[in-house]
Each structure stands twice: as structure tokens, then as C-alpha cells.
């Protein structure tokens, strides 16, 4: 099997031009086949505010009505995605910017209305790994915006962490796949106030213990839930690290937090 690195970049890196440039330079240095998935929520909120469109969040998740769907489509699929692609091209990386609608790569269904109506938010149903593999065989680096689509032709706002996990799981059928979540922290922290208190490894057991103690909480929980789900479904390795350390993390230099199921080396 060929090796494949799938990297999701988010947090404060996307909306910081200097940090993003530094990350993309590191990303260029990662050898072999790779895929990049990005977020961009803070920029979407800023653009919505300029347009007079209210942003509503529930438990950290964006309510996506029609006006907000228009905003995230413009920001994620246009502004952020094409800026990243252009910057990669400028440093010698042939990249192709995609949403899940492009090439029928990621199909979703609109989230059912329960206690909360999230609006035009997509829950992933299928990943077309064959099409993504085709892009990679053409020596292109797919760069995915967190947008998918449904069978009725509607675009859907989709959680970038979930999208990265879903793509990694499907690509793992054909590739030895490593999934990396990068942001502005050095990894999963034992002490949120100490940037150097990085947990070197997490297993499902230690993760459950840290959650019960409140060491791991809030937005890190859905990220780790996605990560462990990916491992259980065939992804070889999951790493959580600082965007500046992505090349080191992928090379196995011992930075960041490495997730395992506890039964594998």
C-alpha cells in the first residue's frame, strides 16, 4: 500500500496570514501523497458581520440558514480555499481546490431537525475515494473546503474535522493513511494554561479518564471523537500537533499527541 498523509488545518492559523504561510511551507516539505482539508469559521463570522448577517452558534456549532450558507460558500469554497491553492502554487505545489460537490467527492444528507435545527448542515454519507485517488495520481494535491452536497443539489456546511476523518477512513482502503489535525496548540494539553504540557499519547482508556477529570473538554472532545473513530475504521495513525510542527510530526520526531487504540505499536 502507498502511504498517504491527510492534514486538517484550522484554529487561528487560517486567519493569520503569517502563520498560514509558515504552515504551507512546512506542508510543502512533506514527502509523498497528501491531502489538505481546511476550516475558516472565524473568517466566515467576520464576513457575515460585514454583510449584516447574524451568526448563531449552539455548543460551538454554526447554525447555517440560507444567508449563512451563502456566506460559508463564498468564504470556504472561494476566499479561503483559493487563497490556499494560490499560495501552494506559488511555492511549487500543484494543488486543486475542491468542495465535496466537485467530482462527486463527498456526498452528504441535510441534518435532520431534532431539538435544534442546524439548517443547511451536512452529515456525510459517502466519500468517492476513487475520484480523489485519481486527482492524486495526476500529481495534484487536493485541498478541500468544508462544504459537501446532497442528492437534491444543495450545498451543505460540513464540519471540517468530520470531513477529514471521513476522507481518511475511505482513503485507508487503498492507502496506508495517517491523519493529522493541526492548529495553534502543540497537541492535546494536560494543562490548558501550559503550552508545553503535551500528552505524548492517548488511548481510548486514557482519553476517557482525562475527559472524566475535565482535563480534556469543550471543542477538543469532538475532534478526538472523530480521531478515534478514524482509527477504529482503519486509519493507521492519528496525530494532533501545532501547525508549525506538522512536518516533524509526520516524520515521527515525537512532537504532538499520537493517538492509538492501545493494542498497536
Q: What is the pLDDT along the chain (265 residues), one digit of tens a residue?
A: 799 999 999 878 998 999 999 999 999 999 999 999 999 989 999 999 999 999 999 877 899 999 999 999 999 999 999 999 999 999 999 999 999 999 999 999 999 998 999 999 999 999 999 999 999 999 999 999 999 999 999 999 999 999 999 999 999 999 999 999 999 889 999 888 898 899 999 999 999 999 998 888 877 888 899 899 999 999 999 999 999 999 999 998 888 999 989 754 4
Q: In the chain, what is the greatest distance between 2 CA atoms, to the nearest angstrom?
A: 52
Q: How far are the Cα atoms of 10, 38, 54, 91, 242 from residue 23, in angstroms, in the given order?
A: 11, 12, 31, 12, 9
The structural domain count of the chain equals 1
CATH of the domain at 34: 3.40.1160.10
In a domain, 236, yes or no: yes
pLDDT at position 263 is 58
Residue 193's pLDDT is 85
Q: Is residue 264 part of a domain?
A: no
Assigned domain for 235 exists: yes
Res 265: pLDDT: 43
**Residues in binding site:** 40-41, 62, 157
Instruction: Give the DSSP H or E segment for 223.
Output: helix 220-232
CB 226 within 8 A of CB 158: no
Helix, strand and coil in the chain, % to nearest 5 = 40, 25, 35
169 Cβ contact partners less than 8 Å away, ≥ 6 residues apart: 127, 229, 230, 233, 234, 235
Q: What is the distance between the alpha carbons of residues 15 and 19, in angstroms, rounded to a whole number? A: 8
pLDDT value for 60: 77
State which residues form the domain around 240: 2-259
265 part of a folded domain: no
- State residue 8 phi and psi, 5-degree precision: -110, 125
* Annotated binding residues for substrate: 40-41, 62, 157
Quickly list DSSP for 38-75.
Answer: E--HHHHHHHHHHTT----EETTEE-B-HHHHHHHIII
Cell of 3: 502511504
The answer to whether residue 234 sits within a structural domain is: yes
The answer to the question of residue 57 being in a domain is yes
Residue 145 belongs to some domain of the structure: yes
- Can you tell me the distance from the alpha carbon of 231 to that of 226, in angstroms, rounded to the nearest whole number? 9
- Residue-level pLDDT at 254: 83
In a domain, 14, yes or no: yes
Amino acid at each position: 500500500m502507498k502511504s498517504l498523509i491527510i492534514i486538517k488545518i484550522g484554529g487561528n492559523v487560517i486567519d493569520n496570514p503569517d502563520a498560514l504561510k509558515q504552515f504551507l511551507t512546512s506542508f510543502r516539505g512533506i514527502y509523498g501523497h497528501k491531502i489538505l482539508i481546511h476550516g475558516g469559521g472565524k473568517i466566515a463570522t467576520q464576513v457575515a458581520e460585514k454583510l449584516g448577517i447574524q451568526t448563531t452558534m449552539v455548543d460551538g456549532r454554526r447554525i447555517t440558514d440560507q444567508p449563512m450558507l451563502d456566506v460559508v460558500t463564498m468564504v470556504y469554497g472561494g476566499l479561503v480555499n483559493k487563497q490556499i491553492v494560490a499560495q501552494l502554487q506559488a511555492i511549487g505545489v500543484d494543488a486543486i481546490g475542491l468542495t465535496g460537490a466537485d467530482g462527486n467527492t463527498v456526498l452528504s444528507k441535510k441534518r435532520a431537525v431534532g431539538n435544534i435545527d442546524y439548517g443547511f448542515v451536512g452529515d456525510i454519507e459517502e466519500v468517492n475515494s476513487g475520484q480523489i485517488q485519481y486527482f492524486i495520481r495526476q500529481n495534484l494535491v487536493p485541498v478541500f473546503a468544508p462544504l459537501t452536497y446532497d442528492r437534491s443539489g444543495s450545498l451543505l456546511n460540513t464540519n471540517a474535522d468530520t470531513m477529514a476523518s471521513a476522507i481518511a477512513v475511505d482513503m485507508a482502503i487503498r492507502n496506508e493513511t495517517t491523519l493529522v489535525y493541526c492548529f495553534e496548540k502543540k497537541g492535546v494539553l494536560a494543562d490548558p494554561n501550559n503550552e508545553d504540557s503535551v500528552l505524548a499519547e492517548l488511548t481510548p482508556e486514557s482519553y476517557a479518564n482525562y475527559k472524566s477529570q475535565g482535563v480534556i473538554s469543550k471543542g477538543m472532545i469532538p475532534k478526538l471523537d472523530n480521531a478515534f473513530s478514524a482509527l477504529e475504521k482503519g486509519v493507521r495513525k492519528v496525530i494532533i500537533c501545532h501547525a508549525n510542527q506538522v512536518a516533524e510530526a509526520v516524520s515521527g520526531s515525537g512532537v504532538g499527541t499520537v493517538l492509538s487504540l492501545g493494542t498497536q505499536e
